[in-house]
A and B are shown apart, each in its own frame.
Chain A
Amino acid sequence: MEKKKVVLGVIGSDAHAVGNKILDYSLTNAGYEVVNIGVLSPQEDFINAAIETNADAIFVSSLYGHGEIDCKGLREKCNEAGLNDILLYVGGNIVVGKQDWDDVKKRFLDMGFDRVYPPGTAAEVGIKDLTEDLSKRG
């Protein structure tokens, strides 16, 4: 069976590389093909990588607090590019400061993300959800 593909990157002007390297390692270990566009990646790079590789999901990381500005419009741009049903996950420290998590989660779900993760989520949690979400799609 062909491996499922995940585009992985850290969005915007964010240089946090550690989680990115660990997610890459963990996803690869779990049997996924990882297209890692690395840190400091604009929305366009995620989309282009997903189109070029025919990816099944995009994992967006944001650790520096600008996540809300950086992620705005990503789902719409994916749709415009023809990536209509691609899975969009986001996680990290995605807003500035200690905010009510339910509010934050809702804001990002409303933006069109399929899964939203709070700070400190283990890579395995996202991978388990991904496997489930993909199996639902068959």
Chain B
Amino acid sequence: MNLKNKRLSDEAFFKEREEVLAGWPTGKEVDLQEAVDYLKKVPDEKNFAKALELAKRKGITLAQPRAGVPLIDKHIELLNHLSKEGGADLLPSTIDAYSRQNRYDECQVGIDESLKEGRAMMNGFPAVNHGVKGCRQVYESIDKPVQARHGTPDSRLLAEVIHAGGWTSNEGGGISYNVPYAKSVSIEKSLSDWMYCDRLVGFYAEQGIEINREPFGPLTGTLVPPSMAIVTGVIEALLAAEQGVKSITVGYGQCGNLVQDVAAIRALEELTEQYLKEYGYNDVVVTTVFHQWMGGFPEDESKAFGVISFGTATAALAGATKVIVKTPHEAIGIPTKEANAAGIKATKMVLNLLEGQRLPMSKELETEIEIIKAEVKCIMDKTFELGSGDLAVGTVKAFEAGVIDIPFAPSNYNAGKVMPARDNNGAVRYYMTGNIPFTKDIIDFNQSKLGERSEFEKRELSFQMTIDDIFAVGKGKLIGRP
């Protein structure tokens, strides 16, 4: 394995860079020196990293939607609607699924078909095809910081294009944008490709330009236990810091039990800061993002607003720096700009009402934080051990061994032996722990919590329970009771 958790040398980076930029004709538009000059002119209020840092200092939670359409003018119209009508604090550009697989020729078909049909035929903004020019056109036409949000295992060219285009944040990471999004990309390859993306951000940092990076916390968005999400966030934060990234937003997707979710955000922030310090990265600003419910939504729009508002309340009470907003069209598919703005308004209203309030510490909250931290420690210790101290190598081996194992992931490189289910209070627990090296105490804790539900429902623990949980929120309940 050539992979090492070590800062890429300039020589290696610039050599790789030639190949990356040759991947599509728009790569030629990226001129690093010119991009540095351009990014230096980005005002603080349009810089993603600075906006997050300010929010953290003020103790407030910012709202960010997801949104992206194929054509530049329509995309600008959409983002301005979400900013002005919806009141979004931060803007996204969701990248389409062909770009995520680096199929830029198919993107061109999607762009052409969208023009011909007069409606969006793709699910996002093909930033590489639109190039630095197109990305700058978007950046210059909006009034808030903008981030690329996607699901691209190899985001190297995308990162080059968007950052040169004035977009000061990139979501993703070597685990979180591979395992939930790809079938046959090795962990080694995606870790290496994301080291490049992080190194690019590190390069800009050395020129005095702050760019934010955000590991994708929710992973498969399907009953992922908090500790598994946190492990990937901590690993990706450590790998990014090694490449010189100075602004990292670690994330987590709402599971649905208020106490467990608040515990998860607190543990996520504390553990990320703790691991960064322990490994000598002392000047990284860590912020957090809470994703409103990522699973199936109720079709009824009023009910959907209920889900959105509950997630927002959790984010605020947990003290997350940012909340990612869902829309009342979630059950149907990609929302209209009006529906998207409606989701942001509901979110902002709840955030305003809860500003400054936090869920106070309690016995229950303390227990949840402790169990999450203990679970994370088991997995992290083993991962470092498998890599003989090298986190990148350890991560590859941890996936091979099923020490890190993400439920419902499509990747062939994920063991797929772990199965979650809700306990009787709706908290997500490990029903099958696969090869995760948990202590007996942790396994017993998870089993006893699930046992309470099993007894209450008078049925055995089974995959059926998990399936019922997956559909429950869409049907109007948190727990999938028979």
Chain A positions near chain B (C-beta within 8 angstroms): 12-15, 17-18, 20-22, 25, 38-40, 64-66, 68-69, 93, 95-98, 119-120, 122
Chain A residues within an 8 Å CB radius of B96: 66
Can you show 24 pairs from A to B with CB atoms below 8 A apart?
Answer: A13-B103, A15-B151, A17-B180, A17-B220, A17-B408, A17-B409, A18-B220, A18-B408, A38-B410, A40-B182, A40-B183, A40-B410, A64-B123, A65-B122, A66-B98, A93-B332, A95-B333, A96-B121, A96-B333, A97-B120, A97-B333, A97-B334, A98-B336, A122-B471
**Which A-chain residue is minimally distant from B339 (CB atoms)?**
A98
In contact, B113 and A120 (Cβ under 8 angstroms): no
**Which B-chain residue is minimally distant from A26 (CB atoms)?**
B467
A25 to B460 Cα, complex, angstroms: 18
In contact, B122 and A96 (Cβ under 8 angstroms): yes
Tell me how far the C-beta of B274 lies from the nearest C-beta in chain A, rounded to whole angstroms.
32
Interface of chain A, main secondary structure: loop
The answer to the question of B437 belonging to the interface, with a C-beta cut-off of 8 Å to chain A, is no
Report which of A21, A95, A98, A122 forms a contact with B408, defined as CB distance below 8 A. Answer: A21
In contact, B409 and A12 (Cβ under 8 angstroms): no
Tell me how far the C-beta of B229 lies from the nearest C-beta in chain A, rounded to whole angstroms.
16
Chain B residues within an 8 Å CB radius of A122: 471
In contact, B183 and A39 (Cβ under 8 angstroms): yes
A39 to B122 Cα, complex, angstroms: 18
Chain A residues within an 8 Å CB radius of B387: none
Report which of A25, A39, A97 forms a contact with B332, defined as CB distance below 8 A. Answer: A97
A120-B296 contact given A12-B97, A13-B100, A18-B470, CB 8 Å threshold: yes
Chain B residues within an 8 Å CB radius of A25: 463, 467
A26 to B123 Cα, complex, angstroms: 29
Tell me how far the C-beta of A26 lies from the nearest C-beta in chain B, rounded to whole angstroms.
8
Tell me how far the C-beta of A27 lies from the nearest C-beta in chain B, rounded to whole angstroms.
13
A120-B408 contact given A66-B97, A93-B333, CB 8 Å threshold: no
Report which of B183, B333, B474 forms a contact with A15, defined as CB distance below 8 A. Answer: B183
A12 to B333 Cα, complex, angstroms: 17
Excluding A13-B98, A18-B222, A69-B110, 16 further A-B contacts by CB distance (< 8 Å) are: A15-B180, A22-B470, A40-B182, A40-B410, A66-B96, A66-B98, A69-B109, A96-B122, A96-B333, A96-B334, A97-B333, A97-B335, A97-B336, A98-B335, A98-B339, A120-B296
Q: Which of B55-97 contact A (CB under 8 A)?
A: 96-97
In contact, A96 and B180 (Cβ under 8 angstroms): no
Chain B residues within an 8 Å CB radius of A119: 299, 331-333
